Every structure is written in C-alpha cells, then in structure tokens.
Amino acid sequence: MISWAIKGQEFSNCNCNYGCPCQFNALPTTGTCEAAVGYQIEEGHFGDVDLSGLRAATVYCWPGPVHEGKGKMQLIIDEKANEAQRNALIKIMSGEETEPMATMWFVFDAMCDTKLPPLFKPIDLAIDVENRTGRISVPGVFETIGEPIRNPVTGDIHRARINLPHGFEYEVAEMGSASTKATGEIKLNLENTYGQFAHIHLTNTGVVRQAA
C-alpha cells in the first residue's frame, strides 16, 4: 500500500437539516442523501508525489441512505495539478491505497455504483472553519455558499460543533448553513441546509487524532 497523507480544510453541504442525522447513525432527513464538498489541501503527499496547495471537490447523490448504496459520484480535481498529482488525488478520493472503511472517501466510493469521469477544472474555494463561512465555485458544475447558523428570533450567530472521536472524516466539525446549486451531470438544489466546516488530517489508515 502506498503511504499518503492530506492535511487541510473541508467545507461541505448536504440536503439534511442542521446536524445531519448521518453523524449520529440515523437516517437522512428527507430519506435521500445529496452533497457537494470542497477541499483545500495545505500539506499532502501520495508516496513521493507532493499534493500541497492543491484543491479538490466532489458531488454525490444517493436514492436513500448512504449505507444502502446505489449512489452516483463525480470527483473534481484542481486544473493546476499535474498528471501525477491528478492520478494521486483520484486514487485517494476513490478509496484506493486506503485501509477498508478508514476514510469517508473509501466509504462513499464503495457506496456509489455510478462513478462519473473525474473533471479537471478551476476550483474557486474559500474556507474559514472558525467563522463558519465558505465558498466553492466550479464552473459548469456547482456553486456552494456557507454561513453561520443564526438564531431565528434575534438573528444572532449560533455556534454548534460535532465531535467524533472515532469518525472517519474529522475529529471536530463546526456546524453552519449552506446552499448549493449543481448544474453538472449530478443536479442539486439545496437551500439553507446542513453546512460542515472542518480541519481534516487523513492518511491511508484514517483520521490522525490530536490526542495521539
């Protein structure tokens, strides 16, 4: 197995209510699961291939809960990546060279019967985990915007976090509100639904724990 590691930020939007039942091993809010995600890689490698500074994104949809499979996915890789970097990111985000069930990429790929060809496009991305704001723009594919959750009465910013000590994606994620319009081969139309902002540190064996 080729050793790899990725450290950076993640911003995602799915069609569930704030909190996302999947984080609690519950069924999705509306019965189906749809999501768009963007990644900013601060430091990373795949074997001796440097991945630092690159971006990536994904679009997913399932007709039911993720664990029931039959999903569809498409990877988007930073157009700035060279051939070796593109191949490396595709392998990582397709769950290859990864211990079984160790990362969200492994699980999501395994639960998707339809894997659309990866795209190589410019990815306009901004993520502020602590302030729960984000933006993802992939021309011709999708646009996502994220902001903090607000109190429905006062309009004040509300802060909530999810801590998953044994998760396969992150240790702690900040909760927000997000909206996505996807117009590529996978269509999404999400408005003011679950937004997730997190610092991620993953390897082929799973999440790197701070306590470790």
Q: Residue 5 CB: number of other CB atoms within 10 A? A: 16
Asked whether residue 211 is assigned to any structural domain, the reply reads: no
Note whether residue 196 is domain-resident. Answer: yes
Give backbone dihedrals phi and psi of 87, rounded to 5 degrees, phi first. Answer: -60, -40
pLDDT tens over the chain, length 212 residues: 999 999 999 999 999 999 999 999 999 999 999 999 999 999 999 999 999 999 999 999 999 999 999 999 999 999 999 999 999 999 999 999 999 999 999 999 999 999 999 999 999 999 999 999 999 999 999 999 999 999 999 999 999 999 999 999 999 999 999 999 999 999 999 999 999 999 999 999 999 998 54
Name which of 31, 37, 17 is nearest 141 in CA terms: 37
Does residue 129 lie in a domain region?
A: yes
Q: Please, what sign has the CA dihedral across residues 50, 43, 39, 139? A: negative
Tokens of 122: 């410019």
Residue pair 139/160 in contact (Cβ under 8 Å)? The answer is no
Q: What is the C-alpha to C-alpha distance for residues 56 and 93, in angstroms, rounded to an integer?
A: 9
Is 210 within a domain? no
Work out the widest C-alpha separation in the chain, in whole angstroms. 53
Domain coverage including residue 139: 4-205
CA separation for the pair 174, 176 (Å, rounded):
7
Residue 84 lies in a domain: yes
Strands 142-147 and 119-121: unpaired
Instruction: Assess if residue 212 is contained within a domain.
Output: no
Q: How many domains does the chain have?
A: 1
Place of tokens 């999708």: 142
Residue 5: beta bridge partners? 45, 203
| Rounded CA separation 194/11 (Å) | 11
